[in-house]
Amino acid sequence: MLQYLVKRLLFAVPTLLAVLTVVFFIARILPGDPAQVILGEQASAEAIQALRLRLGLERPLIQQYAGFMAGALTGDWGSSMVTGRPVLGEVLNVIPYTIELTAASVILGAIIGIPLGVWSALHRNRLIDYVTRIGSLLGLSFPAFVMAIMLLLVFAIQLSWFPVISSGGSGSLGVRLQHLALPAINLGIIMAAYITRVTRSSMLEVLGEDYIRTAHAKGVPALAVVWRHSLRNALIPVVTVVGLYLGILIGNSVLTEIVFNRPGLGKLIVGALTQRDYTMLQGLMVVYTFVIVVVNLLTDLTYGMIDPRVKYQ
């Protein structure tokens, strides 16, 4: 088990290196010049040249690349080209907000989605099933930012239950949760829609299995057949989807963070892109890659908890 973990994390190293390389070169190919963006349209050619020199952008590309890789590996991710603050510090500042939001929406999605999917499967092709399926389809097809704006209009502006600007909140847990609520509901609904659909189809498959017939033949009560005999078998595809979807969720959180004006990785990366902040962009990509690697690993470990047939080696 421990051996498996170490092996998996070691495998992540080449992935990270490859991503870093790709990001480095893509950033350089992007049209636009950080020095130009920082100094503005009116800046003189000399000033831009001076700044480019200071930012190290005049060195040969290969030298820049070597310097960047060496830095990345030793934990020195450089400073933001725009603000001058260390990249690592900036990232660490906002990462709790993103983790908080992602975790809350996954939990919300599971709490809503799993029972709804089971319920829908048990009432296959009946009214309840159709309503659930249409509902989840709506949840999937609604763009995150549209739903976010609707949530804001109703719950923050009309009803004033939640703050309009979810700055993340600070201090007491209550305030933090209040700031978290709308963005988490926004992403949680999308998550729930996915989970409902996967749970439903997976449950339908499991309910047709021979061992479910065996459970009925043993006289196991219907509720126990559903929760003990079926659900655990049905959860593997659900875990896969949650794992895969976490990646998408982080993408969706960009829009959510912007609409709710909430700090987080998403907002940071959009800022870095528009300002051609190469160093910040690179640092964020490392973080994203690392998150995906960790999520995949956690997904694989969860399989083992659900299914005794899964072995790690």
List interacting residues with other proteins (CB under 8 A). 124, 209-211, 213-222, 224, 228-229, 232-233, 306-309
State the nearest-atom distance from the C-beta of 220 to other proteins, in Å. Answer: 6
Hey, what are 196's tokens? 């409902």
In the complex, what is the shortest distance from the CB of residue 123 to other proteins, in angstroms, rounded to a whole number?
A: 11
Q: Quick one: 230 or 252, whose CB is closer to other proteins? A: 230
Closest CB 215 distance from other proteins, rounded Å: 7
Nearer to other proteins, 54 or 124 (CB): 124
The pair of structure tokens assigned to 300 is 């694989």
Q: Which is nearer to other proteins, 177 or 220 (CB)?
A: 220
Residue number with CB closer to other proteins (76 or 307): 307
Q: Closer CB to other proteins, residue 154 or residue 310? A: 310
- Dig out the tokens for 274 from the structure: 């528009």
CB of 310 to other proteins, least distance (A): 10
Contact 101, 253 (CB under 8 A): yes
Report in angstroms how near the CB of residue 308 gets to other proteins at its nearest. Answer: 4
Tell me, what amino acid is at 48?
Answer: I
Asked if 167 and 262 touch (Cβ cutoff 8 Å), the reply is yes
